[in-house]
Structure 1
Amino acid sequence: MFGGEYVQGTIFPAPNFNPVMDAQMLGGALQGFECDKDMLIDILTQRSNAQRQMIAEAYQSMYGRNLVGDLKEQLSSHFKDVMVGLMYPPPLYDAHELWHAMKGAGTDENCLIEILASRTSGEIFQLREAYCLQYSSNLQEDIYSETSGHFRDTLMNLVQGTREEGYENPAMAAQDAMVLWEACQQRTGEHKTLLQMILCNKSYPQLWLVFQEFQTISGQDLVDAINDCYDGYFQELIVAIVRCVQDKASYFAYKLYNAIHDFGFHNKTVIRILIARSEIDLLTIRKRYKERYGKSLFHDIRNFASGHYKKALLALCAGDMEDY
């Protein structure tokens, strides 16, 4: 995050952690006459992902069964999606979401955009490996076969994970800004290619400089310029990349707000963002959400979700309680 702000998640490693005891309690919750969903929430939303992996190992040793398999068998609907999603290591969770975005009925372009526009090169490398191991399939090949045009070209560039890290060149920033400005004026295929190459390969600090130069040259914010010049999934992807460079927490706050209010509570998006960002920057996302939309994320989830599903989402959003 630029400006030196400290970003923070909502979930931390539990103190005095005992994976054997947690596994035993989960076993009791899952094997009883009626599944104790409150117990599942209390344990799985209050442990870090690394701790959950240790619980899963202890559970396997204790019961001879797979914890994820038992969760899938005992739970249903969106509550199951949350509890099972929490059990995947982060790269595998991203891989799982990308796989299902492409292998279901139709392609969920919004999922591809959200994940690939926001992950670091290191995260993309890890999710690509996880995708290959889990599904015996090549992520690049699957994206190539399921998408098209400049949207596909940009996704293919992002999934290579070749973004520069930490590199800044002020002299080059002015040149790149001029290329972006021309791309917004000319809109040819060649200009689209130049646009996505800059946005997919330059470091975040370098792009920060480029965006400032673009503002000076054009008198316009780059997001506004792109929205004026392009449309479709290519435009949405390019804008997502720019938003993530400008302020990643604000980007996710924007995605959550749209998922909650514009799509009749789009559960997949809400679940994916809360799980994926819970140990990274969800507390910061919550802060941005309230700053931008006036009501807290906690308030909106409480109003739109229900039952144990709502309780699980609220537990993921926890952290401090000041803006509830």
Structure 2
Amino acid sequence: MWGHPTVEPARNFNVTEDAENLRAAMKGLGTDEDKIIEILTNRSNSQRLQIAKYFDENLERNLIEDLKSELGGNFEDVIVALCLPPDEYLCKQLHKAMEGMGTEDATLIEIICSRNNDEITQLVETYERLFDRPLVEQMCSETSGDLRRLLTLILTGVRDSSNEVDPEKARQQADELYGSGEGKFGSDESTFSRILAHENFNQLRRIFEEYKEVSGNTIEQALRHELSGEFLDALLAIVECVQSPPAYFAKRLYESMKGIGTDDNTLVRVIVSRSEIDLEDIKREFERIYDKTLSSFISQGETSGDYKHALLSLIK
């Protein structure tokens, strides 16, 4: 149903040719930004990593360091992101969201709540390797309350990985959710966390259908009525990713660009991290929801120059 990328492996890929062309684009006075964009936005991540390996082994240079020395700003962020393994890039984004004063809860929610168990396991392992500290430990020191409990459950890999659906259990769980929220005075947040963090996405989809039967309201309506703040945002992220990951990420892109100023970090992260997964689907959902193409929205926004060129090249 979903899973249409915008970036696919280049046919007739020639690592030597690409690496030598990239080196030439950065050598001497001036930089050929167009050549850098042309090569790196039209290769898969696996192919880019092969180019980086060629730089290291044959040119005795570090591709990312060379790029950083030649580029700057948001344009540099996009290009460097493309040259990192996807799990390393997301771990660096998680770390950035938690370092210094304050925490970017929205980034933690987007990355952690949208991933399946296998992806979470990979992130947990990669994070500790990169930063020599367990992801759960750092996340717990930066968040609190219901949000911390929910994210901890997800990061410890409690979600059922069977993808099987139990209709009878789904009805019982819908009743349980109703009884913990709309069906009582006050809310039992722990029930929402337990069910939404433990059940696989197929089971959750069935639970949400049953909930509508039990309550007359959608699960989103119920959550918005009963809860608030970052905990609500996290539960809604799970619900939206269960129903349609492309619609969820389309919304993240829209929010990153609407109004004054652009949340470039989110814009770059979503486009780069989804380009080989479902960015084509995200484009379609963006146009369906907002009645504008993603490309036109970026073109009319505050992005400019090589940065805009790189983003549009990834979107295709």
* TM-score (ref. length: structure 2): 0.96
Q: Is residue 183 of structure 1 aligned with residue 167 of structure 2?
A: no
Q: CA deviation at 1:35?
A: 1.2
Q: CA deviation at 1:224?
A: 1.4
* 2:45 corresponds to: 49
Residues 15, 47 of structure 2: 8 Å contact kept: yes
* 1:271 corresponds to: 268
Q: CA deviation at 1:6?
A: 4.0
Letter in 2 for 1:92: E
1:35 aligned to 18, 31, 38, which one? 31
Q: Is residue 140 of structure 1 aligned with residue 116 of structure 2?
A: no
Q: CA deviation at 1:120?
A: 1.3
Residues 15, 54 of structure 2: 8 Å contact kept: yes
Q: Is residue 131 of structure 1 aligned with residue 127 of structure 2?
A: yes
Q: 28-37 or 212-221, which moves further after superposition?
A: 28-37
**DSSP 3-state at the match of 1:182:** helix
Q: Is residue 239 of structure 1 aligned with residue 240 of structure 2?
A: no
* 1:193 corresponds to: 190
Q: Map Cα deviations across residues 53-112 of structure 1 (whole Å, 9 max, x no partner).
A: 100000112321211111122211100100000111111111010010001332111100
Hey, what's the Cα distance between the residues in 2 that align with 1:258 and 1:224? 20
Q: CA deviation at 1:216?
A: 0.6
1:69 aligned to 45, 59, 65, which one? 65
Q: CA deviation at 1:258?
A: 1.0
Residues 278, 316 of structure 1: 8 Å contact kept: yes
Hey, what's the Cα distance between the residues in 1 that align with 2:61 and 2:117? 35
Residues 186, 226 of structure 2: 8 Å contact kept: no
Hey, what's the Cα distance between the residues in 2 that align with 1:203 and 1:35? 48
Hey, what's the Cα distance between the residues in 1 that align with 2:2 and 2:134? 36
2:166 aligned to 161, 164, 169, which one? 169
Residues 286, 292 of structure 2: 8 Å contact kept: yes
Letter in 1 for 2:232: Q
Hey, what's the Cα distance between the residues in 2 that align with 1:204 and 1:221? 16
Percentage of matched positions with identical amino acids: 37
Residues 128, 139 of structure 1: 8 Å contact kept: yes
Gaps of 5+ in 2: none
Alignment of 1:81-96 (within 5 A): 81-96=77-92
**DSSP 3-state at the match of 2:5:** coil
Q: Is residue 309 of structure 1 aligned with residue 291 of structure 2?
A: no
Gaps of 5+ in 1: 319-324
Q: Is residue 213 of structure 1 aligned with residue 210 of structure 2?
A: yes
CA-atom RMSD in angstroms: 1.2
* 1:296 corresponds to: 293
Hey, what's the Cα distance between the residues in 2 that align with 1:142 and 1:73? 31
Hey, what's the Cα distance between the residues in 2 that align with 1:232 and 1:148? 12
The alignment of Structure 1 onto Structure 2 pairs a total of residues equal to 313
Q: Is residue 160 of structure 1 aligned with residue 156 of structure 2?
A: yes
